[in-house]
Structure 1
Amino acid sequence: MRAKHALSGLQGVEMGESNFNRKKAPTMADVARRAKVSTAAVSYLLSGDSARLKFVGKEARQRILDAVAELNYVQNRTARQLRRRQAERICLLLPRLGVPFSDRIAQDVQSAAALNGFSTIIAAGDTMERMDRIVREIESGLADGVIADWQHLSERDVALLAARLAVAGRPGVIFHPSIEPAGFSVVRQHTGDAVFEALDYLYQAGHRCIAYMLHERAVDGSRLAAYHRFLQARGVPLRADLLIGGAEARKAAFANARALAARKERPTALFAESDLAAVTALHAFGGWPLRTRRHCGHRVWQYR
């Protein structure tokens, strides 16, 4: 009965849009009418079509901008993306987040992308399996292009992932120490030379007992090779006890740094292969009197 009375009370009431106080969002055609120009002119200006924008005069452009502001017009980004068949997004792939190197890259990529009208998606994965899942999403249209720090992956794995992106029409810029460009751009950091120079900086400061924290699962051995090259060049004997792991994970870096600090004969300096290990080792040393500085893109510590 209550339902019957409720329904009868609605009789004669028109359920139109006006009853809900809804206001239709302004369209591009509304902007064109307000500015007294064609819809095409509005499209050229708002999409940044420089080739066709030359046909729209300075006064007409200002009228369009005024109309956009007056009507509070907002472009339908989704419709534009479907029309262009573009996501207008760049995907930044990193091994992990929360380390200085990755954070700086993310900041710079986001700034550059925004200046060119792109948004940025950041995804992290330190294994081939995780990267495989992310690349599948990109193949499906998640992003128009990729900037990937794949220095932790083998040449074979990088080639497989890059080939899939190329087939999907997704251009890529890849950070990797050894792979050759093949349908994608490659950024090399020449880390071996930087490691040698950083170690030599410590040598010139008087250090002869330098511990080296390495990445035990590193695909590229150029950093460790530079350490051996440095020892040979300076006539410093290789000591196996000064080679410690831990650069790939916080837990291992912390434990190995603590063990290093607890030795009776401590090294006078430590070189770490990763920012992750560097920051972690700094916490592990606790009250150990240290001087820390960045040299050639790597973190080094000196015992005072």
Structure 2
Amino acid sequence: MATIEDVAKLAGLSRTTVSRVINDQPYVTEEKKQRILQAMDELGYVPNSSARRLRSQRTDTIAVLLPRITNPFFANLIESMEKKASQWGYQVIVCQTHDSEKKELDYLQLLKTKQVDGVVMTSLCNDWEVIEPYLESGPIVLCNEYMEEMAVPMVHMDHRKAAYESTIHLIDQGCKNISYVSGGSDTYLAEERKTGFLKALEERALPFLEAASVDWAIHVEDGRKVFNHIKDHHPIIDGVFTGSDEVAAGVVYEAVQAGWNVPDDLAVVGFDNQMLSLLMFPSVTTIDQPVAKMADRTIEVLVRQLMNPRANKARRYIYSHKLLVRNSTLKKQLVTNL
């Protein structure tokens, strides 16, 4: 957290001069005043007196930070959170970070300047040591995303176990060369999924085909590119684990258009049980997350912290998932042999 000394140093002026500006006292030139105000803005500095005054205010508003609202998983999560928050007398504002570290911090400033009472973070862009100081301004709860060292409530599913079970399912369907497809590799959640995937391969003595795996796939169009990458460079791939139903749908669509049989030539697993996964032909095997339950618990935990700041701030709430097996992985030969 920035201090008055930090402001003075950045502005190149004395602590006394900074104090005069903060307390609206005379004998400070306009030029110096602007330098100090600019330094305060750059550092995100809130004077103690202002902070005390702001902390006494209530906005009855909760900010929910998410990567993008166009992802159906986050859209459903927000809808459930808004309903639950309304029951507690709170309104929700949606803050799209687009995976930007700067945007994430800009939105956390809403908490620091008391424009919101609390924050829900469904993804993480910055390291914990960057986020932690904002807890001085109000409660933060993580939903979906999680990080071991964060001393805040975390509501999530066991993503390592879900990825492990999905991969074991692909292997049980006869897949021996499986591509791992994710939207990134720099978050704890992403690491957990990959750990589960690799554990399944290791248990079944299968290799990790790193060259056939990608960490940039997010949208349907990315899924189409993933399939063409496999077709052109790694045709031995017979199974694909994806971290998104959107990506899985793109893989399935492009594979079918290319004349591949899904799942006999290529089995595909998605994630999140979006409606898209059920409407695809063939329908997509996926992981179902208890979105409504996680959303309800997240809002409840946050509101109870607002009511009682001494409430347990580091408890984890881990929910169970379901592997929904559909036609994108049920190979005809194996079904016939059942």
Give the TM-score normalised by structure 1.
Answer: 0.62
- Are 2:194 and 1:224 equivalent residues in the alignment? yes
Higher relative contact order (CA 8 A, sep 6+): 2
In the alignment, the residues of structure 1 paired with residue 231 and residue 329 of structure 2 have an alpha-carbon distance, to the nearest angstrom, of 12
Q: 1:153 to 1:275 in 2, by over 3 A?
A: farther
In the alignment, the residues of structure 2 paired with residue 115 and residue 285 of structure 1 have an alpha-carbon distance, to the nearest angstrom, of 45
The residue number in structure 2 matching 1:139 is 112
CA RMSD of aligned residues (A): 2.9
The residue number in structure 2 matching 1:167 is 136
Counterparts of residues 211-290 of structure 1 (less than 5 Å): 211-220=179-188, 221-248=191-218, 252-262=222-232, 265-287=235-257, 288-290=260-262
The residue number in structure 2 matching 1:187 is 155
Counterparts of residues 1-304 of structure 1 (less than 5 Å): 85-125=57-97, 126-150=99-123, 152-153=124-125, 157-164=127-134, 166-168=135-137, 170-175=138-143, 176-182=145-151, 184-220=152-188, 221-248=191-218, 252-262=222-232, 265-287=235-257, 288-290=260-262, 291=282, 292-295=284-287, 297=289, 301-302=328-329
SS at structure 2 position matched to 1:107 = helix
Count matched residues. 216
In the alignment, the residues of structure 2 paired with residue 188 and residue 278 of structure 1 have an alpha-carbon distance, to the nearest angstrom, of 22
Deviation at 1:112, TM superposition (A): 0.3
In the alignment, the residues of structure 2 paired with residue 114 and residue 257 of structure 1 have an alpha-carbon distance, to the nearest angstrom, of 43
Q: What runs of 5+ residues in structure 1 fail to find an aligned partner?
A: 1-81
Percent identity between the two aligned chains: 18
Q: 1:171 to 1:192 in 2, by over 3 A?
A: same
Cα pair 1:100 1:275 within 8 Å, conserved: no
In the alignment, the residues of structure 2 paired with residue 158 and residue 282 of structure 1 have an alpha-carbon distance, to the nearest angstrom, of 37
Q: 1:284 to 1:242 in 2, by over 3 A?
A: same
Query: Residue by residue, what CA displacement relative to the aligned partner does 1:259-297 show, whole Å, maximum 9, x if unpaired?
Result: 224467352221112344334434443524434221355
Cα pair 1:198 1:296 within 8 Å, conserved: no
Query: Residue by residue, what CA displacement relative to the aligned partner does 1:179-207 show, whole Å, maximum 9, x if unpaired?
Result: 3342x312242211110011111222222
In the alignment, the residues of structure 2 paired with residue 119 and residue 131 of structure 1 have an alpha-carbon distance, to the nearest angstrom, of 20
SS at structure 1 position matched to 2:109 = helix
Q: Which amino acid aligns with 1:89?
A: T
Q: 1:190 to 1:244 in 2, by over 3 A?
A: same
State which structure, 1 or 2, has the greater radius of gyration over its C-alpha atoms. 1
In the alignment, the residues of structure 2 paired with residue 285 and residue 119 of structure 1 have an alpha-carbon distance, to the nearest angstrom, of 43
Cα pair 2:242 2:248 within 8 Å, conserved: yes
In the alignment, the residues of structure 2 paired with residue 107 and residue 136 of structure 1 have an alpha-carbon distance, to the nearest angstrom, of 24
Cα pair 1:246 1:256 within 8 Å, conserved: no
SS at structure 1 position matched to 2:285 = strand
SS at structure 2 position matched to 1:195 = helix
In the alignment, the residues of structure 1 paired with residue 252 and residue 86 of structure 2 have an alpha-carbon distance, to the nearest angstrom, of 35
SS at structure 2 position matched to 1:244 = coil
In the alignment, the residues of structure 2 paired with residue 224 and residue 264 of structure 1 have an alpha-carbon distance, to the nearest angstrom, of 20
In the alignment, the residues of structure 1 paired with residue 217 and residue 85 of structure 2 have an alpha-carbon distance, to the nearest angstrom, of 31
In the alignment, the residues of structure 2 paired with residue 95 and residue 299 of structure 1 have an alpha-carbon distance, to the nearest angstrom, of 25
SS at structure 1 position matched to 2:157 = coil
